[in-house]
Structure 1
Amino acid sequence: MTDRLGTRQFELLAATLAATLATHLGHLPVWLWAPLAAIVPLRVWTRRRGAPAVSAWIRVPLTALLLLVVIVSFGNVFGREPGSVLGAGLLGLKLLETERARDARVALGFAAFVLMSALLFTQSLGFTLLVCAVLALLLATLAALQPAPLPTRAPLRAHFRLAAVLLGASLPLGAAAFVLVPRLGSPLWGSPGNDTAARTGLSERMTPGEFNELLFDDTPAFRVDFDAAVPPPQARYFRAIVLWEFDGATWSRERWRGARLAEDLDAQTPALDYRITLEPTDRPWLPTLDIPLAAPLNARLLADRVVVAETPVIQPREYRARSAIGYRLASSLDKASRARALALPEGFNPRARALAEGWRREGRDDQAVARAALELFHASFTYTLNPPLLGRNSVDDFLFDTRRGFCEHYASAFVFLMRAAGIPARVVTGYQGGWWNAASAYLLVRRSDAHAWAEIWLPGRGWVRFDPTAAVSPERIERGAAAASGAEGWSQTGWLRDLRNRLDVVNRLWTESVIGFNALRQKGMLTPFGVPEANPGDLMLVLSAILGVAMLFATLWAMRGTAAPADGDALEHAWKRLRRRAARAGFAARPEQGPLDWLRQVRAREPEAAAELAPLIEIYAELRYARAAPAPAEVDAFARRVRGYRPRRRAAKPA
């Protein structure tokens, strides 16, 4: 097997495959990533000990088992999740059989495909740079597999230098292809698969205590550019979902899908125009400043003033909206809506019911009842992101026992109390707050700004927002959930959080310029050149012209000719090292001497020293003159022997 991989080549290949698989760790199931984490180091260890490739009698059943488990887990092999799981598993199994350079090149080609598929899950700037770093490692490994050793004194460094040159040279053509290749109408992963829960986001269901995972997620949710005035922090409520139904544990809107007339809206303040760039959520809800006046393009305004897109948001979406922060919503309430806004399940939370009914018996009107609930929260409740668990009567447990929670708990308990007192009420979820970037003039809203509040219907005023969380912790409205609870992590405190917020300008530019580059923007790209709407033919014509120019320059560069490197190849480098070490011991070779002439000269002076040198000189002569191109593994072995050569005898000084 003349093209067997050397130790360095194989371990570089293993490192490349491990780095490629690591880019998929965020979505690989434990039954796959755990074996993969063991396969790579175990294969490197066994090969160092001289073990051959794993037998096909083992590899083939493992491949069949992988395919079977993927089908059982996902129902098919199509789509992002099952496809990436299958690809990662096959890549790990490929390492088990890799022994020759041909196998390694096949593995690297497949690794490039698996690496690029990681971008189907996230295209953030940081992750894209990570993928580029792994791609550079992949190219360096490919360079290390070339039949002729690289002309350098430091082969590994030369491999990475060549990889950097190749990657840099490919960037202009890659950018041209990105801009000019016609965009697809829908993403590549729009095929069957269990992809709907790939990202964290607001849900149509809310169970008190389940929000905290979202509240600790400090990644951006969306960014807002206001055309004119910016609303103050206490008015930055972004409406996403209205929850009407309560089953004793969970609030939902699952049964609230009937077509109804939109609740009438009387705007009492000037309308605010703004633009939102929403990060992918895999859900159709489009947050808008409370209250939206109309739906953006390709979206619908539901009866309860919630905006929903026609399709789930699976890639960054930009939309314009108009809202009024001062308003009267639903001046009258129809019977069906009133019934739904008062419904409570029987047999749950008797103490909370009794408390609300007691307020009514005291003769309090609707607003007085609402104030009583807020005063109760303000007097003896604590805001925390780590609340105790609640039992079957969750509202009773919260109100009378634990008295600790975050926005979900307060909104749920408040709406329950209002309904128990005969006041129509509902839960609203969305986002509140955000960080204002004064330098770039936009509002950054993170997923940790997710919030839940309440709306109660009052005669003459319609639906009125009440935020019981603000009664407990005004800091939540001013500074955010983590700051209010004292649960800020090291990345969310002081100057570091401020630095992260300021650096978000780069992420915003990346999202809008690269990730948000869609078919519509591509069609208008050639407008400055007199093409009002570029069709695929125009784009491909421009791309062909750019490729033609690039190929012309590449051909001219290749034809210019290059002189042989002064340092020689890796074999010559090892040979020069051997001659230097021998010269320090007094056995210097003349420049015109060949290896065998030099050996005869040393043998004539010091036969014992010649016996040490003879095996190395003979190996070099065979590799250099008896082969068209020595195998990299043989060159590596020779170089290792030269590094271990230490002359035990020195030449006698002339008398």
Structure 2
Amino acid sequence: MSRPEALLPRESLLWIFAAQFTVLLPHFTRLPLWIVLGWALAVFWRFEVYRGRREFPGRLVKLLAVAVAVGGLALSYRRWFALEPMVALLAVSFALKNLELLSRRDAFLSLLLAYFVAATLFVFEQTIPYALYGVLAAAVVTAALAAQMGGRSARPRRAFGLSLRLLAQSVPLMLLLFVVMPRLGPLWAVPQNSGGASTGISDSMTPGDFTRLSKSDQPALRVAFDGPLPPPEQRYWRGLVYSHFDGRRWSQGFGVDPREGAPVSWKQSEKPLPEVGPRYRYRVIQEATRNQWLFALARPHSETQGVGETHDDRLVRSVPVYSRFAYDVRSWPRSSLSQAPELGDFERRRNLQLPSEGNARARSWAQSLAQEHSDSEAISAAVLEFFNRHFTYTLKPPALGVDSVDEFLFESQQGFCEHFASSYVFMMRAAGVPARVVAGYQGGEWVEQEEYLLVRQYDAHAWAEIWTPARGWQRVDPTAAVSPERIRDGLQSAAAEEFMEDALLPLHRFSVLNRLRLQWDMINYRWYQTVVSFDSDSQKNLLQRLLGEVSPLRLAAFLLIPVGLGLSLLLVWLWWSGRGERLPRAQRLYLKFCRRMAKAGIPRRSGEGPRDFADRVAVEAPRLAPMVSAVTAAYERAAYVEDPAAERQLSRLLRQWRMGAMLAVARASRELRHGGAQV
């Protein structure tokens, strides 16, 4: 059992729980509800213990709490080796530690654990608001540590002041270590819980999926080009290929999804990519999707570690994209390739697959087109001409029934991109032409100030590809036949009246707010480029600019010179501050009083307490007794009881008695000397 004086006072407990709440708050939306309630219950129990209404739980209760926590974690998470269950385990340890939060040692342990929880915040998000919140969390935890010293250190102003000073002093060292420390593999490469919902484009497509994405203005991609920028009609960011159709739903099908074991090239591309000719070089920063697929122009190749290529011209990552991810890409327009690869029998059957029944009118019309026209391009032109003459592009298409293709082609004739792409591919397959649906994004907003292309979720798009023996897979966008302005100018131009009309705050209608939104996105882009994606290559380039040549000697000098300078300044500051040690104000005032008494001839003896000194002065100089007694009483209340009013009274007494007291002390000293001589 801890000694009574080692038990935690109320202020220490409040600071500990405030620090715990601060670091856990961002995780409340990710943690199971039972963990949040368990932490709150543990805090309530500990307060009840402080108030004397309950006792600390015994060993049996603690073991039961641990068993319940472990069982809850096992039921809440499907796998343990992932980030979310690890953060949940830290939160559970917080709650359980509160049940035995007894001494200052327990408090320090709990607060050191809080630093780790604060660091896990950046596992999930590395945006500027989260970074600022992380600094706030570190300041609160440090202030809670400072408050554990007791006394006036637990006051919010004093604790936060010390915390901010400590953090400010650590900034130079933090910046130095950020620049020179070797870049290690990121913690967020550890798998996360796969049970969470993904964002953006899904691995399947049904009528209405892309319509829902058109209501979101959240960023999806940011693309910076090293060289020419492709024209708007070439900005097709392909991410998924749908080859299987069950009558209503399009999906990737067997042998395509890398999660199901589909072949992926993780090394140098085996495709015959030309060394000269038109090509694009660019860097993509993709927002988190919790999926493996990446987005790039057609015929992509990436040297970024962990990025591979599929046989259907897509890029995938070895692990899902749980946070912003940057990758470099080179793309060759298909028109620059001299030879088209052969289409194997399995791929032909895959891209001619249709359900055995359903959509009879579309099948019949497609067969008639195949009899009228001799090649696939003529059949495609006939279907596109039909779209151009009879169809309307809208963000609010009517619902479709079982025979969705027939109803769309011959009844509603109103739709979004997925309706056009789906029905077009159905028609081409029914006519005997291999075809597939491609999903991704089309277009993007050019941000001139930072020179990057901003692609948002409402730029999500679906188009088609057909196989021709002469040129291989060729992109065909049926939406362009109905609404060419969608491809050329974007969704906002093609559907101006319907665009984002359900948004709570339609920023696009207010030029000032839209500019502010772009400015904020540019700040986020620069933040990611400068801080978040500061990898080993960026570090090497920066050190080369600073040092000219990255050698061990220069690197050591670059590291040791600032450290030595900082230590020298610290020593100078300590020496200077040590000259007038920053004692508590009450003690400084009392020492000033003692120095005045010494100058008047009544010095305070070594080891003599304030009360003993006052008693001696009362005997040796009775006239000074009231003054010395008042000063001593005010000092004792200010120093030992920490009474602010007594501290102010002590300062006022010294100001009032400065001249009069000195004269009285001088007269008393003369009297003492004269009296001693007569004796």
Same fold (TM over 0.5): yes
**Match for residue 517 of structure 2 among 483, 500, 512:** 500
Cα shift at 1:145? 2.2
CA RMSD of aligned residues (A): 4.5
Is residue 509 from structure 1 mapped to residue 526 from structure 2 by the alignment? yes
CA contact (8 A) 2:6 2:104 kept: yes
After TM superposition, give the deviation of residue 45 of structure 1 in Å: 7.5
Query: SS in structure 2 opposite 1:490?
Result: coil
**Counterpart Cα distance in 2 of 1:401 and 1:94:** 66
2:315 equivalent in structure 1: 307
**d(CA) in 1 for partners of 2:166 and 2:233?**
52
Cα–Cα, structure 1 residues 596 and 274, in superposed 2: closer, same or farther, change >3 Å? Answer: closer
Q: Do structure 1's residue 238 and structure 2's residue 253 form an aligned pair? A: no
d(CA) in 1 for partners of 2:558, 2:54 = 51
CA deviations over 1:548-578 (Å, ceiling 9, x no partner): 5434433332333244468559xx9xxxxxx
Greater mean alpha carbon deviation, residues 1-10 or residues 137-146: 1-10
Q: Which structure has the higher relative contact order (CA within 8 Å, separation 6+)? A: 1
Contact 2:43 2:95 (C-alpha < 8 Å) held by counterparts: no
Tell me whether 125-134 or 540-549 shows the greater mean CA deviation: 540-549
Larger Rg: 2
1:385-396 superposed matches below 5 A: 395=405
Which of 445, 461, 474 is matched with 2:455 structurally?
445
SS at match of 1:23: helix
Contact 1:434–1:445, Cα closer than 8 Å, also in 2: yes
User: How do 1:67-82 and structure 2 match up within 5 A?
Assistant: 67-74=70-77, 77-82=80-85
Is 1:341 aligned to 2:351, yes or no?
yes
Give the 3-state SS of the residue equivalent to 2:433 in structure 1. Answer: coil
Structure 2 gap ranges (5+): 257-261, 591-625, 648-679
Q: After superposition, what is the alpha-carbon deviation per residue over 1:584-617, rounded to whole angstroms, capped at 9, x for unaligned?
A: xxxxxx874448968xxxxxxxxxxxxxxxxxx9
Specify the code of the residue in structure 1 equivalent to 2:25.
A
Q: Residue type of the partner of 1:273?
A: R
AA in 2 matched with 1:271: R
Aligned to 1:578: none
1:229-271: per-residue Cα shift (whole Å, max 9, x none)? 3233232212233332334423205414468998888999843
Deviation at 1:414, TM superposition (A): 2.5
Residue of structure 1 in register with 2:183 after alignment: 183
Name the amino acid aligned to 2:525. Answer: R
Select which of 130, 133, 149 maps to 1:146: 149
What TM-score do the two structures reach when normalised by structure 2?
0.72
Equivalent position SS for 2:27: coil
Deviation at 1:91, TM superposition (A): 1.8
8 Å CA contact 2:241–2:436 kept in 1: the answer is yes
Residue 85 (structure 1) aligned with residue 96 (structure 2): no
Aligned counterpart, 2:295: 287
1:127 aligned residue: 130
| Cα 1:277/1:61, change in 2 over 3 Å | same
Q: Is the 8 A contact 2:225 2:281 kept in 1?
A: yes
Contact 1:267-1:327 at 8 Å conserved across structures = no
Q: Which residue of 2 aligns with 1:490?
A: 505
1:527 aligns with 2:538: no
In structure 2, relative to structure 1, the CA distance for the partners of 1:54 and 1:414 (3 Å cut) is farther
Q: Which amino acid aligns with 2:333?
A: A
Quote how far apart the aligned CAs of 1:117 are: 1.3
Contact 2:121 2:130 in 1 (8 A): no
Task: Output the amino acid matched with 1:132.
Answer: V
Which residue of 114, 118, 124 maps to 1:115? 118
Distance 1:98 1:53, change over 3 A: farther
**Deviation at residue 274 of structure 1 after TM alignment:** 3.1
- Displacement after TM superposition at 1:517 (Å): 1.5
1: distance between equivalents of 2:483 and 2:99?
58
How much does 1:26 deviate? 4.6
Q: 1:263, 1:329 within 8 Å by CA — same for their partners in 2?
A: no
**8 A contact 2:264–2:309 mirrored in 1:** no
Matched, 1:272 2:291: no
Aligned twin of 2:228? 229
Residues 10, 259 of structure 1: CA spacing in aligned structure 2 closer, same or farther, 3 A cutoff? closer
**8 Å CA contact retained: 1:348, 1:393:** yes
1:454 to 464, 471, 478: 464
In the alignment, the residues of structure 1 paired with residue 35 and residue 386 of structure 2 have an alpha-carbon distance, to the nearest angstrom, of 51
Distance 1:20 1:215, change over 3 A: farther
Deviations 1:196-251 (A, max 9, x none): 96863545444444456755554433322233432332322122333323344232
1:301-380 equivalence runs, <5 A: 301-309=309-317, 316-324=325-333, 331=340, 334-336=343-345, 337-357=347-367, 359-360=369-370, 366-367=376-377, 369-371=379-381, 373-374=383-384, 379-380=390-391
Counterpart of 1:437, as a letter, is: V
| 1:649 matched residue in structure 2 | none
For residues 582-597 of structure 1, the aligned pairs below 5 Å read 592-594=628-630
The answer to whether 1:557 aligns with 2:573 is yes
Q: Is the 8 A contact 1:300 1:307 kept in 2?
A: yes
2:179 is paired with a residue whose SS is: helix
Residue in 2 that maps onto 1:613: none
Note if contact 1:18-1:40 (Cα within 8 Å) is conserved in structure 2: no
Helix, strand or coil at the partner of 2:313: coil
What's the CA shift for 1:84? 1.0
Cα distance, 1:344 vs structure 2: 1.4
Question: Which residue does 2:612 correspond to in 1?
Answer: none
TM-score with structure 1 setting the length = 0.75
Kept after mapping to 2: 8 A contact 1:20/1:114: yes
Residue 428 of structure 2 corresponds to residue 412 of structure 1: no
**Partner residue in 1 for 2:162:** 162
1:55 corresponds to which of 50, 54, 57: 57
Q: Distance in 2 between matches of 1:534 and 1:286?
A: 37
Distance 2:35 2:404 in 1: 38
- C-alpha separation between the residues in 2 aligned to 1:405 and 1:28? 40
**Is 1:383 aligned to 2:385, yes or no?**
no
Partner of residue 473 from structure 2, selected from 446, 463, 467: 463
What is the aligned partner in structure 2 of residue 255 from structure 1? 255
Q: Tell me the matched-pair count.
A: 587
Deviations 1:390-414 (A, max 9, x none): 6665545655677666433432232
SS, match of residue 422 in structure 1: coil
Q: Which residue of 2 aligns with 1:602?
A: none
Shift in Å, 1:338: 2.8
What is the rounded CA distance, in whole Å, between the counterparts of 1:40 and 1:81 in structure 2?
21
Is 1:98 equivalent to 2:101 in the alignment? yes
CA contact (8 A) 1:268 1:327 kept: no
**Contact 1:275–1:319 under 8 Å retained in 2:** yes
Partner secondary structure for residue 455 of structure 1: strand
Write the deviation string for residues 356-403 of structure 1: whole angstroms up to 9, x where unpaired.
34555676974565456556656455533x777766655456556776
Task: Quote the offset at 1:500 in angstroms.
Answer: 1.8
Instruction: Check conservation: 1:268, 1:328, Cα contact below 8 A.
Output: no
Flag the 1:147–1:541 CA change in 2: closer, same or farther, 3 A: farther
In 2, distance between residues paired with 1:492 and 1:53? Answer: 56
Conservation of the 8 A alpha-carbon contact between 2:243 and 2:250: no
2:665 alignment partner in structure 1: none
1:576: which partner in 2? Answer: none
Counterpart Cα distance in 2 of 1:104 and 1:163: 17
Once the 2 structures are TM-superposed, how far is the Cα of residue 316 of structure 1 from its aligned partner? Answer: 2.9
Residue 436 of structure 1, CA deviation: 0.7
Give, in whole Å, the separation in 2 of the partners of 1:405 and 1:96.
60
Question: Deviation digits for residues 36-89 of structure 1, max 9, x if unmatched?
Answer: 5x5477568857966446524544422222223323444554331221111122
Bigger fraction of residues in helix: 2
Cα deviation code 1:524-568 (max 9, x no counterpart) = 544356675567x98678546644543443333233324446855
Change in 2 beyond 3 A, CA 1:362/1:196: same
Q: 1:178 offset after TM fit, Å?
A: 2.1
Percentage identity across paired residues of the two chains: 34
Which has the larger displacement, 67-76 or 369-378? 369-378
- Tell me the distance in 2 between the aligned counterparts of 1:596 and 1:312: 71
Taking a change above 3 Å as real, the CA distance of residues 323 and 357 of structure 1, as seen in their structure-2 partners, is same
